[in-house]
Structures are given as structure tokens and as C-alpha cells.
Amino acid sequence: MFEAWHLPFMQRALLAGLIMALLSGYYGPFMVQRGLSFLGSGLAHAAFGGVALGLLLGGEPLWVAVPFTAAVALGITWVRERTRISGDTAVGIFFAVSMALGIVFLSLKREYTAEAFTYLFGSILAVTATDIWVSLGLLLLTLLTLPLWGRWAYATFDRELAQADRVPVLFDDYLLAFLVALVVVVAMKLVGLLLVAAFLVIPAAAARQWSRTFAGMMVGAVLVGVFSVVFGLQISLQFDIPSGATIVLLQALVFTAAALIWRRA
Amino acid sequence: MSRKAEYAVEIEHLTVRYGDHVALEDLSLQIPRGAFVAIVGPNGAGKSTLIKTILGLVRPASGKVLVLGEPLERLDPLRVGYVPQFKTLDRSFPALAEELVVSGLRRAWPGRITRGEREKALAALERVGAAHLAGRSVSRFSGGELQRVYLARAFVRQPELVVLDEPATGIDVLGEADMYRLLEGYQKQSGATLLMITHDWEAAYHHASHVIVLNRRLIGFGPPERALSERCLREAFGHVGHAHTVALEFVRSKHV
């Protein structure tokens, strides 16, 4: 049953999936508790614009998608902080514009680009060594920002209390948006832009059901992510169904079970 | 240890604007150390803006603000304890009471609580009669329970100034009496200055040593019997209508 795990592409898929489970389990609770669940989805659509531009210019689309999406994330944060537009409206505007740009870029290419579909639906089984290195780089970057966890969590709990204690909340907003943008771009290759937001939202939302502490919620989100990646890949292989979608459906299954078990009295 | 300033808060010609709207205009006052100050005024009078300015949450358009003898950018925030309105609590955030208290010590949210921190948090919770709440989730606390935990959070850092935003809102009469007992107990033991927004003139009259009457400008400041005068209340709350009648009734009942 597990002999397929010896195949290099499966090992790459597993490694990439596990890194994504760690990253999205780490950042997801911040997004969910800050009411920014929609941001992941919006950034994925923005990333599509970046990928399309990358395909148009030629070469590895990731190198264009990363700065493009990071710029959109910072733009959304700027609009949210500095204008009267609410967060979800800012996300809505940016993602529509980026998506429109993506469509225009792809049409300019004038030839069929099958690779674009990889980004739409994801292809965890087509993970390259570059993807793994980029994921590991992002993991390292996240480890470097671990000392900031306490103040990010503090501002997530109560922004005003954190501000009164001189936590640089504005700087942290931009930094978090930037890092989430990177996670989204990298995860998009694996699960596709249509499903990438699920990675950030569903494990965190599932873990919220049983967690009594924010740190516990984060550990729970990572565990849900790891569980769904391992079993999702196995199931997708066994039944020959798309791996990204299977992983997301497993996450949803955990969420539903948690919601039923830990529902409010 | 920083020098002991004579005043807990010194404000000179403070003006705060939100865009075109002037929230506070040319405000000057000096709050002596060890005072219990109540801030009263109608809705939109700038009460919240005043405490937010003192907490460094709002940047003044002009004027000078010294807190505990220091300009805000140099002030160690651990010298000030802030008790926000507990109704602003995000009940969806998974948090234990002891974590909330430790956040007051660390100026960050605790992932793991050290033994020393837990002892301090428990002592602070015990002081407000809430040690039994330490390991419980705050999401299901009543208003009174939350208020105690927030007080413990402020007290745990042994602040020289405690700023409270409408601390009595949403708790019952007994809870309110308890809260004033705890505040006055802390003040007596530490000599701290208390600064509180309230809509309750009775409470201001009975508990505060000084009252600030505010309506965008400073209308009155001094001991309650002087600041809560008919002239000040009429100027702050208007000369006609319901507020006017209530103000007159209050003043007559106190013979001030």
C-alpha cells in the first residue's frame, strides 16, 4: 500500500506538503483570528497575475509571482490601514485587478499555456527541486521570525493593548501580509490557486474548535495539516484523484468532525 | 529607576484632530501623583481621545504631554496599566485568564508561561479575588469576572498610573462596589495614580479625588464638589433637555 512512497516524485510531494502544513498551520491562526481568512484567497488570485506575467516574460514564473504577490499584499495592507475601505473590500479590489491582469498577460502570450492550469488547480505530484528549495527558504525565514510570535499574537488578541505597550503593530501588519503572500505563492503550485486559501483557513478553524490557547491552536492547525497531507496524498494515489483537492477535503472532514464534537452546548 | 515627577500627567495646550474634526482643543491640566481622577463629559466630548493620547495611541496635533515625568516616546509602558472596556474583548480568541495576565508582564502574548510568571499572575489574580479563574478560558467569563482579570493584568506590572476606560459598564452594582474597593486598595498600597472615564457622576463624586469635566475643551478640573458644579455640568451637557434636568437634580442632591 505504501510502496509508492519510494518514488522520488512522491517523496518530493510529501516533503513539499509537510512544509506547507507547517507554514500554513503557523500563519493560518493569525489570519483566522484577525478576520483575514479571505486574504489567502485574494492573494492566490493576485499570485495568478504574477504567474501569468512570469509565463509571458519566460523563465521560472515563481520569480515573478513572488514579488508581484508580495507587492499586492503590501498594497492591500496599505489600503486597509490608510483609507476608509474595509479589509475584505481591499482584498476584493486587488484580487479582481490582479486576475484581470493575469488574463490579459496570458492572452498576450498567444500560445496555449498548459502550465497556467498547473497553477489554477495545483499539481503536488509535479513538485520540482526548486519548489522544495523555495519552501525550505520560506520555512527558514519563518523560523527567523519566531521571536516575533508573542507580539503578533498579542496584537491579534487586542491591537490597542499591544499598541499601548509600544508593539509596532503597523510594521507587523505589513510583515505578516508579506510572509503570508510568500506562503500563498509557494503553496499555489502545490494545491492550486482555487484551493490555497483552504490551507490557511481550514486547519486553523478546525483547531480552534478544541483549543484553549492560541499556541495550542497553532499546534493543532499544524497537526491537522500534516494529517491531511499524508493521508490525502495516499488516498489520491490509491483512487487516482487530484491530490490537492483530496487534501483539502480531508481538512474539511476534520473541521466538520471537530465542529460536531466540540460544538457549543 | 526614573526620577519621581510631581505630576502623574502634565498636559499643555493639547489639541487632537481626526482629519478635520477637532476632538480636543487647547487642553492644559496637571494631574498630581496619587490622585484618583474621574473624567466625565457627554458622548463625543473627547474622553476616550484624552486617555488614548496619554496611552500613546493617538498622536496630538499640537501641545505637550508628559506622563510620569517622561515624554511618551521615552516612557516605559510597563509603568502604566491600561484596563480597556472588557466588551471589546474578542471572545473568539482562545485565551486563558493567566495568559491574559502574563501578557501584562511580558508586553507580548505568552506561548509558554514560566514558573516565575505563573506565580506573579496567580498573585495578581488572588489580589482581585480571581485566583480560581487562572486556568479557565476567558471566552465564557461574565462581565464581572473579565473585569477582575483585566484589573489583575494591569496590577501585575505594579504600574504607577492605571488608566481605566468606563470600568463599571456592564457589571452589576455589587461588582462595581468590589471594583472600586480593589482600585482603592491598590492605590493605597502602591500610591499609584488612577485615571478613569465614567458616565456615573455619583461614582465620580464618591470615589474620585479629582474630576475632569470635558467637552472638547476643559470645562472643569478639581475636587468633585468643585468640578461637578452646576455651571460646569450645564456647560458640558447643555442648557436644555434631559441632560440639563439630570445635571440639576444631581447638583441639588449634593448641594454643590
Q: Where are the domains of chain B?
A: 7-254
From residue A16, alpha-carbon distances to A4, A231, A235, A261, B245 in Å are: 16, 14, 17, 31, 71
- Rounded CA separation A31/B233 (Å): 46
Rounded to the nearest angstrom, the minimum Cα separation between B245 and chain A is 36
Q: Please tell me whether residue B197 adopts helix, strand or coil conformation.
A: strand
- Here the cell at position B198 is 465614567
Checking if the pLDDT of A3 tops 80, the result is no
Which among A150, A153, A164 has the least Cβ separation from residue B55? Answer: A164
- Distance (Å) of CA B143 to CA B53, B103, B136, B173, B197: 26, 20, 15, 12, 17
Verify whether the Cβ–Cβ distance B57 to A165 is below 8 Å.
no
* CB pair distance less than 8 Å for B96 and A154: no
Q: How far is B151 from chain A (nearest CA, A)?
A: 13
CA geometry: angle B34, B35, B39, nearest 5 deg: 145
Which residue in chain B is spatially nearest to A217 when comparing CA positions?
Answer: B94
Q: How many CB atoms within 10 Å of residue A236?
A: 21
Structural domains counted in chain A = 1
- Look at A153 and B56 and tell me if their CB atoms are within 8 Å: no
User: Across the interface, which of A156, A163, A164 has its CB nearest the CB of B93?
Assistant: A156
- ipTM (interface pTM): 0.91
- Structure confidence by residue, pLDDT tens digits, A128-161: 888 899 899 999 999 999 999 999 999 999 999 9
For position A2, what pLDDT does the model report? 64
Is the pLDDT assigned to residue A84 strictly greater than 90?
A: no
- Are A156 and B111 inside 8 Å of each other by CB? no
Mutate which of A33, A34, A145, A212 to test chain B, going by most B C-beta atoms within 10 A? A212
Give the number of C-alpha atoms closer than 13 A to the C-alpha of residue A137, restricted to the C-beta side.
Answer: 9
Per residue in B197-256, pLDDT (tens digit) is 998 888 899 999 999 999 999 999 999 989 888 888 888 887 656 666 676 677 767 655
For position B255, what pLDDT does the model report?
Answer: 58
Q: Is A151–B92 a contact, with Cβ atoms under 8 angstroms apart?
A: no
What residue in A sits closest to B79 (Cα-Cα)?
A165
User: What would you measure as the largest C-alpha separation in chain A, in angstroms?
Assistant: 58
Residue B16's DSSP bridge partners are B24
User: What is the reported pLDDT for B1?
Assistant: 45
Mean pLDDT to the nearest integer, A228-236: 93
Q: What percent of chain B has pLDDT over 90?
A: 71
The per-residue pLDDT for A112 is 65
Which carries the bigger pLDDT value, residue A123 or residue B223?
B223
Residue B216 and residue B46 in contact, taking contact as beta carbons nearer than 8 Å:
yes
Domain extent for A85 = 3-261
Contacts of A150 in chain B (CB under 8 A): 106, 108-111
Per-residue pLDDT band for A69 (boundaries 50, 70, 90) equals very high
pLDDT category at B170 given cuts 50, 70, 90 is confident
In this predicted structure, the answer to whether residue A61 has a pLDDT above a threshold of 60 is yes
Q: Which of B94, B111, B112 sits opposite A211 (nearest CB)?
A: B94
pLDDT band of B121, cuts 50, 70, 90:
very high
CATH number of the domain encompassing residue A137: 1.10.3470.10
Per-residue model confidence (pLDDT) at position B246? 72
**Which CATH architecture group holds B7-254?**
3-Layer(aba) Sandwich (3.40)
Rounded average pLDDT over A202-221: 97
Q: Cβ contacts (< 8 Å) between B89 and chain A: which residues?
A: 158
Cβ B84–A160 below 8 Å, yes or no?
Answer: yes
Q: From the centroid of its chain, how far is CA B221?
A: 16
B241: its cell numbers: 433637555
What is the Cα Rg of chain B in Å?
A: 18
**pLDDT over 50 at A186, yes or no:** yes
What residue in A sits closest to B106 (Cα-Cα)?
A150
Question: Measured in Å, how far apart are chain A's first and last C-alpha atoms?
Answer: 41
Identify the pLDDT of residue B69.
95
